[in-house]
Structure 1
Amino acid sequence: MSDEVEKKEMGAVTTIYHEFESWNANLGEKTIHAKRMPGFFRTVKNYTQLALWLPFFLGPYLRWNGKQAILLDIQNRQFHFFSLTVLPQDIWMLSLVLLMAAMTLFAVTSVASRVWCGYFCFQTAWTDWFTWVEDKIDGNPAARRKLDDAPWSLDKIRKRVFKHVIWALIALLTGISFSIWFVDARDYWNNLIHLNLPKVGWVVLTMFFFGTYILAGFLREQACFWLCPYARIQGVMTDSQTILPAYDVKRGEPRGKLRKGGESTAAQGDCIDCFQCVQVCPTGVDIRNGQQLGCITCGLCLDACDAVMEKIGKPHGLIRYASLDELSGKPAKKLYQHPRTLVYLTIILLALSGIVYGLSHLGSMTLRVIPERQPLFVTMSDGSIQNKYEFKVVNKTDKDIHVKVTAEGGIAGQQIIGAEETQLTHHGRGTSFTIFVKAPGANVMQEITPIEFRVEGVEDPTVSAEYSSKFNGPKH
C-alpha cells in the first residue's frame, strides 16, 4: 500500500474517529448499529455459529430406518437416537449430560471468560444474523442511523417492510425447527400446511416466533444486559488469570489523535483514539475502560484494532486475549495450577464416565423381578415350595415383542408356572406379568437359593435381559 493511499485512508478514518470520540455504552435509548469488519475472530465466530446451529435446523430431517433419526418424543416418553431408544427409566443419563454441559461452560469460562456468549450463544447468533440482514437492506451503520432519524417515506417503508419480513421468516423457521425435534418433521409440516397443528403446537410455534423476533430484532444486547442470568454470574467465574479481550494500557496510553501525515508525538501511546473497537462491539462496550458486564468476549474489537495498527505501522496486540496478570507483568499460571478448573474437569470426567457406562449397558430390553414379600413362600399340599414373582419388562425397541421366560440355578426339579405361553411386551413402555416357581420340598436345602431369570424375544432372540433374584424356602 502506498503512502498516498495510506494518508487517504487514514484521513477517512480520522473523520470517523472524530464522529465517535464521545461514544458511551448504550443502555437502550437507541439501537446499537455495530460495524461489521472482516478478520480472524469474525471468521471464527461465523464458523462456530454455523457448526452449532446448522444441525439445529437440519438435524430433524435426518432419517434412519424409515423414521426420524433423532426424536425427543415427550408425548410418548421416548427419546430416539438412531437405533437407540432412551426411556424415562434411563433419564438419569440426561441429568449427567446437563451436568457435563454446565461444568464445561463453567470450566471454559474460568479459563477463557465468556466464550459461549461470544461465539455460540443463540442470542448472539440470531442477533448477528438479524443485523446482517439489516446491514444488507438498510446499509452500513451510518446509513442505518440516518434512516432511523429520517422521516417516513416510501423508501423507508419499503426497506422496513422488507427487513421485517425477512426477520419474521427467520423467526418462523426457528419456531418450526425447534418444534420438529419433538414430533416427526414430516407429520409436523403436513399438519402446519393444512393448519391442523394441535393447540400445544400452535402455542410453542407462537412463543418461539415472537421470542426470536423480539429478542434478536429489538432487544439484542439488552437481553445480555438485563435478561441473561449467565451474564450476571460470569464475573464470579473469572479471576486475574482468566484470558479475555483486554486493552494494553501501558502500551496504549496516553491516547492521542494521529496527526496529519501519520505522525504522532513521542509521549503518545499506540492508541490513536479511533473508536473502531467500540464501533464493532455488538454491545457498545469500550474495552479500553476495563472489563465490563457488556463484554461477551467475541474478539471483534481485536480484529478492528489490529486492522488499524496494521494501517499505521504498529504491531498487533494493543487489544488482545490476555489475562490481567499478564498485562500487569505477573507470571501466568499453568492450567493445572487453577484448582477451580481442575474441580470442573473432574466433574466433567465423572459425568462422561457415567454417560458412557449407561449407554454401553442400555440394551434393548430391561428386566426387573420383584419377589413376593408377604408371604415369602407358600407350602403346597404336595409338600412343594412355591415362590411368586412380579416381572417388569421394558421393551425399548420400536416393535411389540413376545418373550419367553427361563431360569438358571435355583432348585433341582423346579417348575416355572406362567411361562408355558409367551408374554407380549409392548414397545416403548413397561409390561408386567406374574410368574410362579415351584420346587419339590425335599430339594429345598437352604433358606435362600440364588436364581437367575431370563426373558428372550421370540421374534428376535438378540433382544433379551437377565435379572438375579432368590428362591425363598423354610429354615432347616
Structure 2
Amino acid sequence: MEKIYNESAEHFDVNLGGKKIHPKKVSGRFRNYKNFTWLFWIGYILLPYLRWDGQQAILFDVPHRQFHLFSITVYPQDIWMLSFLLILLAMMLFGITAIAGRVFCGYFCFQTVWTDWFVQIERWIEGNPTQRKKLDAAPWGAVKIRKRLFKYFIWALISLITGITFVAYFTDAYQLWIDIFTLEAHLYVWVTLLTFFIGTFLFAGFMREQVCLWLCPYARIQSVMIDKDSILPTYDARRGEPRGKAKKGVIDAKYGDCIDCKVCVAVCPTGVDIRNSALQEGCIMCGVCIDACDDIMEKVDKPRGLIRYNSEKEIEGIDLPAVYKRPRVIVYAAISLFSIMAIVVGLLNIPPLATTIIHERQPLYAMMSNGSIRNSYTFKILNKTPEAVDIKISVEGIDGIVMKGVGETVTLKPNRLIPFNVQLEAMPDKVKDKKVPIYFTITGVDGDVKISERYENFFARP
C-alpha cells in the first residue's frame, strides 16, 4: 500500500502561506454534517443570555470566586473537579482521534468553524474561487474596495460578537452590552474583547489553515494517536491508480477509476491532495473531498467511495477489529469513565457550607476580671447554597464553657462568605491542660438544607 501511495504522489503539497486557498463550494452529506455542527457554536454564542433561577445559567464569577452551572455552584474548594473535567475532555479527544482521526479538527474546532464562516461570507460577497482569484489580482478600484470593505465589516462584526461572547461568560451578559455601549466597561473587558477581536479577525480571516499548520500542536502529534485501525478519509489507490482521463460510459482498462480531475484538492479547505496520503499534517479530515469525489464518480458512471472514510487495514482487505477490542481505546474509555464518576460523586457531595475556624494568636488567651480565661476565634463560613441559611453554633469539651459574640442563630446569606468573631470563656479549674481540645458543632435551623458539621480546635490557658 505504501508503495502505491509513494508512486502516485510526486510530492506532498503543503501551503506554507505563500498562496491563498480559495476552496470550491461542495455539497453532500459530510458538508451537511459540518453545517450541522455550527449549531454547537451558535449555542455557545447564545448560552450566556440564558437565565436560570433569576441568574445567569453559566457564569464564571471570578471576583466572588464562584462558577455557576445552572443550579450548581462550584467554589475554589471544589476546583479539584476541574482537573477531572480536563482529563475527561483530553481522553475524549484522544479516543475520538484513535477511532476516527482528526474529526474534531474537521467538524468542531473553533478555528475550523470560524474560518468556514468567513469563507462562506467571502463566497457570498466576492463569488466563486475563480472570481475571488481575479479580484485578488485586480488593481484597487471602486468595486474591489466596496466588496472588501463590506467583507471586512461582516468579519469584524463576527469577531466582535466572538469577543463579547467570551467575556459574557465571566460577567452579567446583559449588563456587559450596556457597559460596552456606554464606555463604562472595566479595563479587563476591553483588553479581552480587543484580544479576541483581533485574534478572530486575523486567524479566521487571513491565516486560516496556517493556524493549523504552525500554531496548533494537535496537527503535529496526531500520528502518535492514530494507528492502522483508525478510520480516516482515505484514497483507495488500488482502485484509483493509475490515474487517467475518462469519458462517461467509456472504460479504459489501462487506467484506474481516478480521472485526475483534482476536484478533491479544489474543495479542500487546507489545499491538501488526499490522494498522496490519508495521514497528512494539513488534512483536518472533514470529508468534503469524499463528497466531491462521489459526485464525480456518479457523473462518470463509476462506483462511489474512491475516497471514503476507511482504515488502512480495510483498504488492504483486513477486517477492522471491534472498537472495544482495541487496547488504547479501552484505556481512554476507562480513564474517561473514572473521571465522570469522580465528577458526579463530587457534584453530589458538595457540602452546603465551607467553614474555617482560626484561633487568635495575639493574644492566645486573656484573663478576665472575674477570674475566667477567654479565648477568641475567627469564623469564616461560606454558604454554598442559593438560599439564606440559619445555623446554630455550639461548643463542647470543657464543663461550663460559655460562648459569646454570637447570637442563638446566625443567618448566612446565599453564595456569600460570612466572617465573624466568637469568644469562649471558662474557669481555670475546668481547664485541665495548657491546651484542651474543644469541638464546635454547626447545625442548621429548620430550612430545606440539612447541616450538621463538627470542627475540632483548642482552648488555651496560662
Q: TM-score category by the smaller chain?
A: 0.7 to 0.9
* Partner deviation per Cα, 1:364-422 (whole Å, 9 max, x = no partner): 32345678999x999x9x9x999987644211245665532247xx6797756245443
Shift of 1:138: 0.5
Match of 1:324 among 304, 308, 312: 312
Alignment of 1:252-267 (within 5 A): 252-259=240-247, 261-267=248-254
CA distance in 1, matches of 2:24, 2:327: 39
Q: Is the 8 A contact 1:405 1:456 kept in 2?
A: no
Structure 1 gap segments, 5+ residues each: 1-20
CA distance in 2, matches of 1:449, 1:195: 56
Change in CA separation of 1:440 and 1:319 when aligned onto 2, cut-off 3 Å:
farther
**In the alignment, residue 34 of structure 2 is paired with which amino acid?**
K
Which stretch of the first structure deviates more once superposed, 108-117 or 338-347? 338-347
* Partner deviation per Cα, 1:24-45 (whole Å, 9 max, x = no partner): 4422111101112111011111
Shift of 1:158: 1.2
**In the alignment, residue 208 of structure 1 is paired with which amino acid?**
F
Match of 1:30 among 7, 16, 19: 19
**In the alignment, residue 274 of structure 1 is paired with which amino acid?**
C
User: 1:360 maps to what in 2?
Assistant: 348
Q: Is the 8 A contact 1:377 1:386 kept in 2?
A: yes
Match of 1:49 among 38, 42, 67: 38
Count residues with an aligned counterpart. 446
Alignment of 1:249-288 (within 5 A): 249-259=237-247, 261-288=248-275
Equivalent position SS for 1:431: strand
Alignment of 1:380-395 (within 5 A): 391-395=379-383
* Partner deviation per Cα, 1:155-174 (whole Å, 9 max, x = no partner): 11111111111111110111
Equivalent position SS for 1:289: coil
User: 2:78 maps to what in 1?
Assistant: 90
Matched, 1:226 2:214: yes
**In the alignment, residue 15 of structure 2 is paired with which amino acid?**
N
Equivalent position SS for 2:451: strand
Change in CA separation of 1:389 and 1:331 when aligned onto 2, cut-off 3 Å:
farther
Provide the alpha-carbon RMSD of the alignment: 3.5
Shift of 1:82: 2.4
Which stretch of the first structure deviates more once superposed, 430-439 or 120-129? 430-439
User: 1:157 maps to what in 2?
Assistant: 145
Alignment of 1:72-471 (within 5 A): 72-259=60-247, 261-290=248-277, 291-367=279-355, 391-397=379-385, 401-406=389-394, 417-418=403-404, 420-423=407-410, 425=412, 427-429=415-417, 431=419, 433-434=421-422, 436=424, 453-456=441-444, 461-469=447-455
**In the alignment, residue 218 of structure 1 is paired with which amino acid?**
F
Which stretch of the first structure deviates more once superposed, 212-221 or 355-364? 355-364
Change in CA separation of 1:332 and 1:23 when aligned onto 2, cut-off 3 Å:
closer
Change in CA separation of 1:438 and 1:467 when aligned onto 2, cut-off 3 Å:
farther
User: 2:4 maps to what in 1?
Assistant: none
**In the alignment, residue 30 of structure 2 is paired with which amino acid?**
F
CA distance in 2, matches of 1:62, 1:414: 54
Q: Is the 8 A contact 2:95 2:332 kept in 1?
A: yes
Shift of 1:135: 0.6
CA distance in 1, matches of 2:333, 2:229: 17
CA distance in 2, matches of 1:311, 1:177: 45
Change in CA separation of 1:206 and 1:357 when aligned onto 2, cut-off 3 Å:
same
Q: Is the 8 A contact 1:387 1:472 kept in 2?
A: no
Equivalent position SS for 2:324: helix
Change in CA separation of 1:434 and 1:344 when aligned onto 2, cut-off 3 Å:
farther
Shift of 1:463: 3.6
**In the alignment, residue 27 of structure 1 is paired with which amino acid?**
L
Shift of 1:344: 1.3
CA distance in 1, matches of 2:329, 2:167: 36
**In the alignment, residue 244 of structure 1 is paired with which amino acid?**
L
* Partner deviation per Cα, 1:208-228 (whole Å, 9 max, x = no partner): 111000000000000000011
* Partner deviation per Cα, 1:75-123 (whole Å, 9 max, x = no partner): 2211112232211111111221111111111111111111110000000
User: 2:7 maps to what in 1?
Assistant: none
Equivalent position SS for 1:404: strand
| % identical equivalent positions | 49
**In the alignment, residue 461 of structure 1 is paired with which amino acid?**
G
CA distance in 2, matches of 1:467, 1:369: 12
Change in CA separation of 1:164 and 1:266 when aligned onto 2, cut-off 3 Å:
same
Q: Is the 8 A contact 2:374 2:423 kept in 1?
A: no
**In the alignment, residue 157 of structure 1 is paired with which amino acid?**
I
Q: Is the 8 A contact 1:70 1:81 kept in 2?
A: yes
